[in-house]
Amino acid sequence: MFSADQLVTMVAVIGGVILITALLSGLIEKSRLPQVAVFIGLGAVLGSAGLGLMHVGLDSPILRVVATLSLVLVLFTDALNLDLTDARKHLGLAAIVLGPGTLLSAAIVTLGAWSILGLPLAACAILGAALASTDPVLLRGIVRNKSLPGDVRQALRLESGLNDAVLVPIVVIAMGFLLPTAEHGDGWTGAVVRTLLLGPGAGIAVGLAGVAALDLVRRRVGVRRDYESLYSLGIAFLAYAAAEAVHGSGFLSAFAAGLTILMLDVDLCDCFLEYGETTAEMALLFTFVLLGSSLIWTGFGVLDGRTILFVLVVFMARPAAFLPALAMTSVPTRSRWMIAWFGPRGLSSLLLVLLPVFAGVAGSERLFSICCLVVLASVVVHGGSLTLLARRWTPAGGEAPASARPSDDASLRRTLAEVEQLEASSANVVVLDVRTERSRDASGLDASGTLRVPPDDAVRRAEALGLAKDAWLVAFCG
């Protein structure tokens, strides 16, 4: 439990991190510095070696809560970010990235840890799975950079959205080998059942119930759009709790709940992404601040010849796995090298290796320290190369070349021309004013001739207007 002074200090730190995140966001984006490195440094300033405002240990309750919520949000957001149409279109690439790519990378790291560090094979499997996970925060700038080759962005997007769902089961099942049967109930066989069946099953059940309840209330009384974002967060956290209550994997449950929403309620999915991605990123960065205050530096405590050799193996594992795998695709050679290199380790790796720490697995503290050493090296090496690449490929101003994207005026003219063509063909065209009240009041545009459909009450308003189901609906949101 926290004392009153500790509580005040922690609340002040949280508020300060949020303010600093907002104030530095533009500077970090323009400088192309790795965002993760900035917040690890901020943690160091606030920690025991700096101002002494934060003292976070592996047994700290706030670390456990924040780390758990962060991983839940990462998996849930990854699921909602998937483009199912795109994933089906590139199914072969997804299978190669996750199978021969991610899983083979984990296997190489596992064998490296077993032969170099002399750890039990199950512990090595935990390290392999954790260090095969890529960092979504570090990768975000690459995935969103339109000037990079599309196949690079596509492969990394598929991997960052799916790899944790593949790697979490490995960590949980490996923990079943290391925990005593009496403590874990039915050993590793039970861990397999709970991980692969109970966890996802609970997530699907909570997702189905959540979507059904929301749909019923939408049709009866309506739901404000901004509250639908919070509703999605509620589904994610309830899915985690439901799975843990039946001794399943709450993390896979959160991922399964996100997939359920993605397949059943696109509107709820889009609504969450307007708000949830920022919330998830804030949780991730705050976790980095907590770890940066002291814990992540424990990586230097295990620094010796063997761990340095292991770090090199980890860095070489991804190219060794991905280059042969991608050779089976039509991806150009240069793009293959970029995909094989840009697999930065970061918070996802640390969150996965914290699972056995929180479960009390013997020797897991050493696994955490080794993982910290790899993450620190990855932030410097991968984060630095990401920065150099972004500066090389992105023009001043941080946007894609003007020749690669249409101007707003051109897009507007094309849209108006399409509407006129529809009207000329005698189609039933209905123009809707879907601006929020704040945007509508601030714009000063009357938008005469449109039907007013506020975004936070769209379904009930559309039913009240009696819009024809065969009509062409054109949304005005300027």
Q: What pLDDT, on the 0 to 100 scale, is given for residue 120?
A: 92
For residues 61 and 100, what is the distance between their CA atoms, to the nearest angstrom? 38
Domain count, the chain: 2
Mean pLDDT of the chain: 77
Taking residues 6-23, report their average pLDDT.
75
Q: Is 418 helix (H, G, I), strand (E, B) or coil?
A: helix
Q: Tell whether 385 and 448 lie within a shared domain.
A: no
Q: Tell whether 275 and 411 lie within a shared domain.
A: no
The DSSP element (H or E) to which 287 belongs, if any, is: helix 266-292
Cβ atoms of residues 335 and 61 within 8 Å: no
Q: Which of 58-72, 90-104, 365-379 has the highest mean pLDDT?
A: 365-379
Q: Tell whether 371 and 434 lie within a shared domain.
A: no
For residues 101 and 105, what is the distance between their CA atoms, to the nearest angstrom? 6
Cα-trace Rg, the chain: 24
Quote the DSSP letter at residue 135.
Answer: P
Q: Tell whether 307 and 431 lie within a shared domain.
A: no
Tens-place pLDDT, residues 119-159: 999 999 999 999 988 876 666 666 666 666 777 777 777 77
pLDDT at 398 over 50: no
Q: Tell whether 260 and 138 lie within a shared domain.
A: yes
pLDDT at 390 over 70: no
- Last residue within a domain, chosen from 367, 387, 402: 402
Tens-place pLDDT, residues 331-344: 888 888 888 887 77
Tens-place pLDDT, residues 69-107: 888 888 888 788 777 777 777 778 878 888 888 899 999
| DSSP secondary structure string for all residues of 332-377 | -HHHHHHHHH-----HHHHHHHHHHHHTT-TTHHHHHHHHHHHHHH
pLDDT at 315 over 90: yes
- What CATH number is associated with residue 298? 1.20.1530.20
Q: Tell whether 367 and 416 lie within a shared domain.
A: no
pLDDT at 166 over 70: yes
Q: Tell whether 148 and 240 lie within a shared domain.
A: yes
Range of the domain at 335: 4-402
Tens-place pLDDT, residues 413-443: 555 666 666 666 667 777 777 766 545 554 5
Amino acid identity, position 69: L
pLDDT at 250 over 90: no
CB atoms within 10 A of CB 71: 26
- Last residue within a domain, chosen from 402, 417, 451: 402
Q: Which of 132, 69, 126, 71 is nearest to 98 (CA)?
A: 132
Q: What pLDDT, on the 0 to 100 scale, is given for residue 412?
A: 47
Q: Which of 172, 163, 221 is nearest to 199 (CA)?
A: 172
Residue 188 corresponds to which tokens in the numbers above? 């590793």
- What CATH number is associated with residue 426? 3.40.250
CA 161 from centroid of its chain's CA atoms: 7
Q: What are phi and psi of 153, to 5 degrees?
A: -65, -40
- Where does the pLDDT of residue 400 fall: very low under 50, low under 70, confident under 90, or very high at 90 and above? very low
Angle at 73 between CA 72 and CA 78, to 5 degrees: 105
Q: Which of 366, 388, 381, 369 is nearest to 319 (CA)?
A: 381
Q: What pLDDT, on the 0 to 100 scale, is given for residue 75?
A: 84
pLDDT at 113 over 90: yes
- Regarding pTM above 0.75, the answer is no
- Last residue within a domain, chosen from 369, 402, 435: 402
Tens-place pLDDT, residues 263-312: 886 666 666 666 666 777 777 778 878 888 888 888 999 999 999 999 99
CA 392 from centroid of its chain's CA atoms: 26
Residue position matching structure tokens 């170099």 = 116
Taking residues 185-195, report their average pLDDT.
63
Q: Tell whether 273 and 390 lie within a shared domain.
A: yes
Q: Is 83 helix (H, G, I), strand (E, B) or coil?
A: coil
Q: Tell whether 68 and 194 lie within a shared domain.
A: yes
The DSSP element (H or E) to which 299 belongs, if any, is: none
